[in-house]
A and B are shown apart, each in its own frame.
Chain A
Amino acid sequence: MLESKKKKIQLKEHISIGVYTAIYFIICALAAGLTVLIIPGYSYAFIPVITSLLAGTIYMLMVAKVPKFGAISIMGSIMGIFFLIVGRFPGATVIAIVISILADVIAYLFKYRNKVGVLFSYIIFSYSLIGPVVPMIFFPSFYQDQLIEQGRDAAYIEGVFQSVSEYTLIILVVSILIMSVIGGVFGQRMMKKHFEKAGIV
């Protein structure tokens, strides 16, 4: 029984997850604030990139403090529920939940200890925020029809949307990859520099 109790997340850890998710949420909001105004409308797509750069430390701290299956999933799911409540694209919630569970599974396979494994899990987790951007990249037909109704050349419009969407997607995927590696390594260095020394972890 003691064994099963150890594996399941306890009340104490639920509270820790809540506290860390709050800080993660604030970092997302900060990243959104920094990003949104650079190119109005368009740079909205790059909020996940800045978040992945900044949120590495909090992720590493949470994994170290709650090294159990569920912590990462709960953090990602809460962000997903938030997307739903503020009325973003509803699929964003599903994307956030599925990707964070995937990140959780990867970290679990590495027993939440292996540095490279946890970094890999953080890279995957960084993609969980991509949901609100999806309608912009994958469903331009929603708003491309209106352009055609206004008398634009259909083939031209489709070409434009396809190429801009493709480039945006490639830039987005690659830059999240790079930024999450930087953010994750920074986070792991911070863990070593501060938290391990202070005996918090």
Chain B
Amino acid sequence: MIVKGFDPRAKLLMIILAAVYVTIDLSILLEISLILIFILPFFVSNLPLIGSSFFVIYVVQLLGSLYLLPYVESPFFIYIVSFIFNGFRLLLPGIIAGTFAIKTTSVSEWVATFKTLRVPNWLLIPIAVMLRFFPAVREDYHHIRKAMAFRGIGTSALDLLKKPATTFEYILIPLLMNATQVAEDLTVSALTKGLSLPGKHTTIVQLKWTVSDWLLIIAALIPFILNIGGTVS
């Protein structure tokens, strides 16, 4: 099973590049092209809605920074508004790259990626278990809420406000009890599948670094190169 779309390693590299861009002061024009390059993968991977909403967020931040911020006078609001429009705008490429990675990578692809990146087992196993466990928590939560409703506990938002600690306890404790049980079950099934055996483990997910991955990374480097060129001339 070869991974479709971009290689997860390329997605991770984009995230790292975005972190580098935080430290570089780009002109507005280069910043806009950077954002366009970062939202491009969404359109290639058939997620145009997310891609365009990020662009809208960026445009709102840019306009807010240029036309709203100069008129804010209260000190506290200057701080908040400039954090939303300027600070958060710098972090936006990273958030875009991160959202893309999360949205388009399956659990088994993540596990295969971490394996190829030689993430040690003591970190890999908890991560793999964690990613697989999320859907189970949702199901458990619904069961717990049903059981609580059956006994007339915490059925409305008012109860949550009146007795927050008790309601929290009633939801959390069964969840944790069950989690402890699930951990035991998973151990048995993992041991049956030979997870504790020494030697190299195989995976059916094959990562393949393709031309499109190269193109994405090179495109993401363009604003950086232009920025250096711009300061020289």
Please report which residues of chain B, range 41-94, place their CB below 8 angstroms from some CB of chain A when the two chains form the complex.
65, 69-70, 75-76, 78-84, 86-88, 90-91, 93-94
Q: Which of B174-182, B206-214, B225-233 contacts A (4 or more CB under 8 A)?
A: B174-182
Jot down 10 A-B pairs with beta carbons below 8 A, ordered by A. Answer: A12-B184, A17-B126, A40-B84, A42-B83, A74-B123, A87-B98, A140-B87, A143-B86, A151-B70, A157-B78
Residues of B in contact, count (CB < 8 Å): 65
Q: Which of A53-61, A99-107, A116-124 contacts B (4 or more CB under 8 A)?
A: A53-61
- Which A residue sits closest to B83, measured CB to CB? A41
Bound-complex Cα distance A195 to B125 (A):
25
Contact present for A15 and B125 (CB under 8 Å): yes
**Which residues does chain A contribute within 8 Å of B82, judged by CB atoms?**
143-144, 146-147
The residue in B88, B99, B125 that gathers the most chain A C-beta atoms within 10 A of its C-beta is B125
* Contact among A21, A23, A65, A74 with B122 in the assembled complex (CB-CB below 8 Å): A74
Please report which residues of chain A, range 52-100, place their CB below 8 angstroms from some CB of chain B when the two chains form the complex.
54, 57-58, 61, 65, 70, 74-75, 77-78, 81, 84-90
Please report which residues of chain A, range 117-166, place their CB below 8 angstroms from some CB of chain B when the two chains form the complex.
135-136, 140, 142-147, 150-152, 157, 160-161, 163-165
Contact present for B180 and A65 (CB under 8 Å): yes
Question: Is B18 an interface position by the 8 A CB rule?
Answer: yes
Question: Is A2 an interface position by the 8 A CB rule?
Answer: no
> Known contacts being A14-B126, A18-B125, A74-B122, is A23 close to B176, with CB within 8 Å?
yes
Question: Is A200 an interface position by the 8 A CB rule?
Answer: yes
**Which residues does chain B contribute within 8 Å of A198, judged by CB atoms?**
177
Contact bitstring A177-191, B, C-beta under 8 A = 1, else 0: 000000000100010
Contact present for B126 and A21 (CB under 8 Å): yes
**Majority-rule SS of B interface residues:** helix
Question: Is B205 an interface position by the 8 A CB rule?
Answer: no
Bound-complex Cα distance A35 to B159 (A):
20
Question: Is B134 an interface position by the 8 A CB rule?
Answer: yes
Contact present for A142 and B86 (CB under 8 Å): yes
Contact bitstring A29-65, B, C-beta under 8 A = 1, else 0: 0000000000111100000000000100110010001
Task: Tell me the smallest distance from the CB of A151 to a CB of chain B, in Å.
Answer: 7
Bound-complex Cα distance A100 to B190 (A):
27
Contact present for B79 and A160 (CB under 8 Å): yes
Contact present for A143 and B83 (CB under 8 Å): yes
**Which residues does chain A contribute within 8 Å of B131, judged by CB atoms?**
22
Contact present for B137 and A23 (CB under 8 Å): yes
> Known contacts being A40-B84, A143-B82, is A11 close to B93, with CB within 8 Å?
no
**Which residues does chain B contribute within 8 Å of A145, judged by CB atoms?**
25
Bound-complex Cα distance A87 to B93 (A):
8
Question: Is A110 an interface position by the 8 A CB rule?
Answer: no
* Contact among A23, A42, A70, A152 with B179 in the assembled complex (CB-CB below 8 Å): A23
Chain A contact residues (Cβ within 8 angstroms of B): what range? 35 or more
Task: Tell me the smallest distance from the CB of B11 to a CB of chain A, in Å.
Answer: 9
Contact bitstring B153-176, A, C-beta under 8 A = 1, else 0: 000000000000100110011011
Contact present for A42 and B80 (CB under 8 Å): yes
Contact present for A14 and B79 (CB under 8 Å): no
**Which residues does chain A contribute within 8 Å of B172, judged by CB atoms?**
57-58, 190
Task: Tell me the smallest distance from the CB of A81 to a CB of chain B, in Å.
Answer: 8
Task: Tell me the smallest distance from the CB of A20 to a CB of chain B, in Å.
Answer: 7
Sorted nearest first, the 8 A-B pairs with minimum C-beta distance are A18-B129, A87-B94, A87-B98, A143-B86, A18-B126, A86-B98, A41-B84, A14-B125
The residue in A87, A142, A147, A163 that gathers the most chain B C-beta atoms within 10 A of its C-beta is A87
Contact present for B94 and A147 (CB under 8 Å): no
Bound-complex Cα distance A58 to B176 (A):
7
